[in-house]
Amino acid sequence: MYQRIGVVGLGYVGVTLAAALADNGYEVHGVDTQPRVRESLRAGRLHIFEPGIERIFAERTGSTLHVVDALPADLDAVVLCVSTPVDESTHQPRLENLAAAAEEVARRCRPGTPVVVRSTVPVGTSRRVVLPALRRAWGDDVRLVMAPERTIQGQALRELVELPQVVGGLDEASRAAGVALFAGLARQVVPVSSLEAAELVKLANNCHTDLIYSFGNELALVAETHRLDPLEVIRAANLDYPRPDLCKPGYVGGGCLSKDPYLMVASAGARPPFLVGAARQLNEHLPAHVAARMVELMRQECGPLPGARLAVLGWAYKGWPATDDMRGTPVTTMLPVFRDAGLVVLGHDPMVSDDVIRQHGGEPTSLDKAFAEADAVLVLNDHPDYRTVEIGALLPGTRIRVVFDSWRILDESAVRAAGVRYAGIGYLPVDPATPTTAVPA
């Protein structure tokens, strides 16, 4: 029934959905307002990194996958995957892209064409922003669906099939249309009672993730105050204890977790949430806190800072599953702190291009040169290349005096054996010769 699908917005969400649909037998017509994105995709050059997507575009473009300048009129359904950012200063949702996409669909497509909102939005947005544009053009012949995207970068193609697909509708006919569409892609479809319920599902998933990560960071800051090892505390607290596990401390970024809590706050109206905003504030504070700690440690161990060289490893917001996504990366917050201290920042990331590192203010370098030329090393993400670093072989003979291992993936004992100061998030052992205690994982 639903074979010809339009996808509006070919950013991360739209590209992955378009590829998954085309690979599962749908005929997909994707549009984007940016000519460079359309031209790049037509030429087979992907503007995002996601395993499997490049293969599908190479195999399907021109057959079941088309990148077009405008939506054809005779589509069976249209999915809106446009960006819904928040204002950088006010954190208020910006929904103009969604409103414009709805107007475009209403102008080009036939009345009654099912329209699916895939973008993450404050509760009530599908009804308040998208529905009026459709009704102005189509009258009452509107089928409106909310089906939130919930995949993780690095595993999107698998999760689009394996994760339950939540579908809410304007009415029963809309919900049935959404269920029929996604039943051809996902193994399980979960109908919910309304557009608003589906909107809140997505916000609930991401805000809960932000919240539980924030507790690990809160615990790390308390442990730091008492010169304790937060990982020791967390491992001991979790070991054979039947209640939910505590999360390790770490940076919380990306396009979703750095934005969606503000959409939840906007959804609450006159009664703001108690927890969501506080969790986001804490997680946004962590990179600045670590940057200040890094500067302090370098002053203690390296002497005068102006001109000192800091190697920052891992510029993407996360290391695994691997991504080149710089949205919400901690390095953006850290770099002004390092510049104010007079540091020269060397940058390395297996996934991020040299040009992007330069644009953010770093000097691109290789992993070997990072250790050979720096006075200190800061590991920001847990990419597998960093997990396998033979730190004991790299440190001897260098001038490195501090290694800050944010994810605690390096061999601490080898760092300390080289007489180098080792630290992590919430972890500031003083004497390199003093062993640390550990609880079995």
So what's the pLDDT on residue 20?
Answer: 96
What CA–CA distance (Å, rounded) separates 109 from 307?
60
pLDDT tens digit sequence for 81-104: 999 999 999 999 999 999 999 999
Is the confidence at residue 435, as pLDDT, over 90? no
Place of tokens 């399907």: 60
Which percentage of the chain shows pLDDT scores above 70?
A: 97
Is the confidence at residue 438, as pLDDT, over 60? no
DSSP of 25-52: T-EEEEE-S-HHHHHHHHTT--SS--TT
What pTM does this model have?
A: 0.91
Is residue 267 a contact partner of residue 204, using CB atoms and an 8 Å limit?
Answer: no
What CA–CA distance (Å, rounded) separates 174 from 131?
12
So what's the pLDDT on residue 434?
Answer: 47
- Split at pLDDT 50, 70, 90, the class of 156 is very high
Is the confidence at residue 295, as pLDDT, over 60? yes
So what's the pLDDT on residue 436?
Answer: 46
- Split at pLDDT 50, 70, 90, the class of 266 is very high
Place of tokens 């809160």: 218
Which percentage of the chain shows pLDDT scores above 90?
A: 93
What CA–CA distance (Å, rounded) separates 296 from 432?
17
- Split at pLDDT 50, 70, 90, the class of 430 is confident
Q: What is the CATH code for 197-441? A: 3.40.50.720
Average pLDDT over residues 428-435: 64
**Encoded tokens for 421:** 């100061």
pLDDT tens digit sequence for 227-241: 999 999 999 999 999
Q: Which residues contact 246 (CB under 8 A, 6 or more apart)?
A: 215, 216, 219, 234, 237, 238
Place of tokens 């330069």: 358
Is the confidence at residue 246, as pLDDT, over 60? yes
Q: Give the CATH architecture of domain 4-193.
A: 3-Layer(aba) Sandwich (3.40)
How far does CA 318 lie from the centroid of its chain? 8
What CA–CA distance (Å, rounded) separates 70 from 80?
14
Domains of the chain, residue spans: 4-193, 197-441
Q: Do domains 4-193 and 197-441 have the same CATH topology?
A: yes
Mean pLDDT of the chain: 94
Q: In angstroms, what CA-CA distances link 298 with 227, 403, 420, 426?
A: 18, 10, 11, 16
Average pLDDT over residues 176-191: 96
What CA–CA distance (Å, rounded) separates 389 from 139?
62
The enclosing H or E element of 310 equals strand 309-313
User: Which of 176, 177, 182, 146 is CA-nearest to residue 163?
Assistant: 182
**Encoded tokens for 83:** 């960006």
